[in-house]
Structure 1
Amino acid sequence: MSTTIRASGILFDLDGTLISSTPVCEAVWHQWAKQYPVNLEEVFKTSHGIRTRDLLRYWLKITDPIALEAATEKFESDVLLESQRLAREGEGGITLLPGVEKMLLSLSSPADDNARWAIVTSATNAYATNAINTLDLPKTSHLITADEVTRGKPHPEPYIMGAAALGLHPTECVVFEDAPTGIKAGVSSGAKVIAVCTSHPRTALEGLGAHMIVDDLSS
């Protein structure tokens, strides 16, 4: 039985929903673990969807604001550099996930002038903009990043801000998310949430309040 979800606006998570970056991020964590004593197994289990600065504060105990900002910039820069290295060597790097290009092109079509959509990410503006440009994603004028919010996912603030950028209330929007943290943020905001199984098995996304669970954006 098919389910129809109606919404006036669409809010997309970035990493894990539109683009695949987990292998690259994990490679960078392995590099950083040479300098910082950290349990990578625990990091990988709990970090997806959370702001880089929050992860570095929690796992690496970097609490000085200036040092934390510098470390965040360095970590995300390392992710982009590692992605470029892997791409040069034919080993992937950051890539588009299935169905993404087709969906975003349809939303950006001149024939659909009323389409309202935004990207709401836990990454910084510098990282998100670079990744979007590198992959030549269709552009949205609404990009909500870690730099714009005071409280990151799973707090609903990012999705509340994303809806506001579209001139909408969260209840008028549908959120596409791959991470439990982001799903919780979307549900808490009041938006309808479609969970995508691009980073986690379906069983890990069940029971979080998502209105629908799909394999990916080609579903």
Structure 2
Amino acid sequence: MTIHAHALLFDNDGTLVSSYDSVVRCWTLWAQEYGVTAEQFGQVELHGRTAAEIIADLLPAPLVPEAVARVEQLEVADVSGVRLLPGTREFLDSLPADRWAVVTSATRRLAEARLTAVGVTPKCLVSADDVTRGKPDPEPYLLAARQLGADPADCVVIEDAPAGLRAARAAGMRTVALATTHRAEELDADLVVDDLAALRALVTDGGVEISARD
């Protein structure tokens, strides 16, 4: 299967980088500070959502702004162990800089801290700070398409989370799912692979052709 695109839009955490160890450390400390239990965490959807959305499900509204600022402070200060996922460097290096963007549910400050830690500098970055509605709303992906000057129908989104895939479909974009944080059967996409190492990108005059490696 080959998917043609004018632009590629990547989620960050779980797609380009693994920040799992940092996330566990920081959110564990945050939960201790705010008295949030593991049982409470188990009742909310976590992956692919903004910290503000998660925290709004866990704490009374008056505490949310302060609690969001606190977890961001913890995560920005702790990028130890943040690493590129398999195939990321090679795949990004094969693309023209003006043909791809990072679209993340993290704040810009946190996204830049993690990307800087792994030596990735996207020309276009859409963060939670840039939109009024996060994934699974299509707004983040539609904004990235506009910034790259691409028709949404000519964009391919590469994601690891169901919420992000729903956002991409709502934006009218095709999807590639990476089974890095969810089982393949949980991911509804045009193409599902293990990680970026399983994908091949061929740059042509008309755009980029994406296919699974043999």
Q: TM-score of the superposition, structure 1-length normalised?
A: 0.83
Corresponding residue for 2:195? 216
Q: Give the Å deviation of 1:133.
A: 1.2
Q: CA RMSD in A?
A: 1.8
Matched, 1:130 2:113: yes
Q: Give the Å deviation of 1:27.
A: 2.2
Q: Does the CA-based 8 Å contact 1:30-1:40 persist in structure 2?
A: no
Q: 1:190 aligns with which of 153, 172, 184?
A: 172
User: Any idea what the Cα deviations from partners look like across 1:94-140, whole Å, max 9, x if unmatched?
Assistant: 111000011111114xxxx7x51110000001011111112111x22
Q: Distance in 2 between matches of 1:96 and 1:41?
A: 31
Matched, 1:143 2:125: yes
Corresponding residue for 2:89? 101
Corresponding residue for 1:27? 25
Q: Give the Å deviation of 1:47.
A: 0.5
Q: Give the Å deviation of 1:75.
A: 0.8
Q: Give the Å deviation of 1:29.
A: 1.8
User: Any idea what the Cα deviations from partners look like across 1:38-85, whole Å, max 9, x if unmatched?
Assistant: 343563672001011111122123x24xx644432321221233333x
Corresponding residue for 1:90? none
Corresponding residue for 1:12? 10
Letter in 2 for 1:4: T
Corresponding residue for 2:162? 180
Q: Which has the higher strand share?
A: 2
Corresponding residue for 2:138? 156
Q: Secondary structure at the match of 2:33?
A: coil
Q: Distance in 2 between matches of 1:77 and 1:204?
A: 32
Unaligned runs of 5+ in 2: 199-214
Unaligned runs of 5+ in 1: 85-92
Pairing 1:86-97 to 2, within 5 Å after superposition? 93-97=81-85
Q: Give the Å deviation of 1:204.
A: 1.7
Corresponding residue for 1:73? 69
Q: Distance in 2 between matches of 1:130 and 1:73?
A: 15
Q: Does the CA-based 8 Å contact 2:79-2:114 persist in structure 1?
A: no
Q: 1:11 to 1:42 in 2, by over 3 A?
A: farther
Q: Give the Å deviation of 1:11.
A: 0.2
Identify the range of structure 1 (126-135 vs 170-179) with the bigger mean alpha-carbon deviation. 126-135
Q: Distance in 2 between matches of 1:160 and 1:211?
A: 19
Identify the range of structure 1 (28-37 vs 171-180) with the bigger mean alpha-carbon deviation. 28-37
Q: Distance in 2 between matches of 1:102 and 1:41?
A: 40
Q: TM-score of the superposition, structure 2-length normalised?
A: 0.85
Letter in 1 for 2:68: T
User: Any idea what the Cα deviations from partners look like across 1:157-191, whole Å, max 9, x if unmatched?
Assistant: 11111111111121110000001111111111110
Q: Secondary structure at the match of 1:80?
A: helix
Q: Secondary structure at the match of 2:156?
A: strand
Q: Secondary structure at the match of 1:34?
A: helix
